[in-house]
Structure 1
Amino acid sequence: MTDVRGRLDRWGPLVLVVLLVAATGAVGAVVLGPPSGDAILDNVEQRYESAETVLGAATVTVENETMERTASVEYVAADGNNSRVTVTDADGRTVVVGSNGSVAWTYQPATGLTQTFDDETRVEELKARYDGRYADRMDRFTENVTVERTGTETVDGEAAYVLSIESENESITSTATLWVDRDDWTVLQSRVTSEKGTVTTQFTDTRFDVSVDESTFRAPDETGQLVDGADRERYDDFDAAQSATDLALPDLRDSYTFEGALVASYDGTATATAIYGTDAGTVYVGVTTGDEFAGAGDAEGGETVTIAGQDVTVASTQGGSIAYWTDDGTTTAVVTRGPPETAREVAETVLGA
Structure 2
Amino acid sequence: MSSRSGRRRGLVVLVVIAVALAGSAAATGAIGSLQQPSGDDVLDRVEQRYESAESITSTATLTVENDSESATASVEVAAASDNRSRTILTRDGETYRAGSNGTVVWAVGPNESAAWPVEAFTDADRDAFAGPVPDGVMPGERSKHLSPQGTPTVNASNATATLVGTPSVDGTDTYEVELTHPEVDGTASLWVAQDDYRVVRAVATDGTNRTVVDVESTAFNVSIHDSTFDPPTDRLALSTIDRYDDFAAAQSDTDLTLPQLDETFEGATVTVRQGETIVGQRYVTDDGNVSVVSTTVTDRFDRLTENASTTTVDGRTVAVTTVENRSVAAWTEDGVTTAVVVEGATDRAVEIAGRLST
Q: Give the TM-score range, shorter chain.
A: 0.5 to 0.7
Contact 2:60–2:213 under 8 Å retained in 1? yes
Aligned-partner residue type, residue 153 of structure 2? M
Distance 1:25 1:297 in 2: 46
TM-score (norm 2): 0.57
Q: What are the equivalent positions in structure 2 for 1:26-105 lying under 5 Å apart?
A: 26-27=27-28, 29-33=30-34, 34-89=36-91, 91-105=92-106
TM-score (norm 1): 0.58
Correspondence for 2:162: 148
Do residues 117 (structure 1) and 116 (structure 2) align? yes
Q: 1:98 to 1:277 in 2, by over 3 A?
A: closer
Aligned-partner residue type, residue 49 of structure 1? E
Distance 1:154 1:164 in 2: 16
Q: What are the equivalent positions in structure 2 for 1:290-305 lying under 5 Å apart?
A: 300=304, 302-303=306-307
Correspondence for 2:136: none
Correspondence for 1:16: 17
Q: Secondary structure at the match of 1:188?
A: strand
Q: 1:87 to 1:211 in 2, by over 3 A?
A: same
Q: 1:158 to 1:278 in 2, by over 3 A?
A: closer
Contact 2:22–2:159 under 8 Å retained in 1? no
Q: What are the equivalent positions in structure 2 for 1:240-251 lying under 5 Å apart?
A: none
Shift of 1:15: 3.8
Q: 1:105 to 1:131 in 2, by over 3 A?
A: closer
Aligned-partner residue type, residue 171 of structure 2? G
Contact 1:276–1:282 under 8 Å retained in 2? no
Taking every aligned residue pair, what percent have the same amino acid on both sides? Answer: 32
Contact 2:23–2:159 under 8 Å retained in 1? no
Q: 1:277 to 1:143 in 2, by over 3 A?
A: closer
Shift of 1:99: 1.0
Aligned-partner residue type, residue 218 of structure 1? D
The number of equivalent residue pairs is 241
Map Cα deviations across residues 60-83 of structure 1 (whole Å, 9 max, x no partner): 111112221111101111111111
Q: 1:194 aligns with which of 195, 198, 206?
A: 206
Aligned-partner residue type, residue 19 of structure 1? A
Correspondence for 1:204: 216
Shift of 1:129: 2.1
Contact 1:152–1:159 under 8 Å retained in 2? yes
How well do the aligned residues superpose, as a CA RMSD in angstroms? 3.8
Distance 1:276 1:223 in 2: 14
Distance 2:232 2:320 in 1: 28
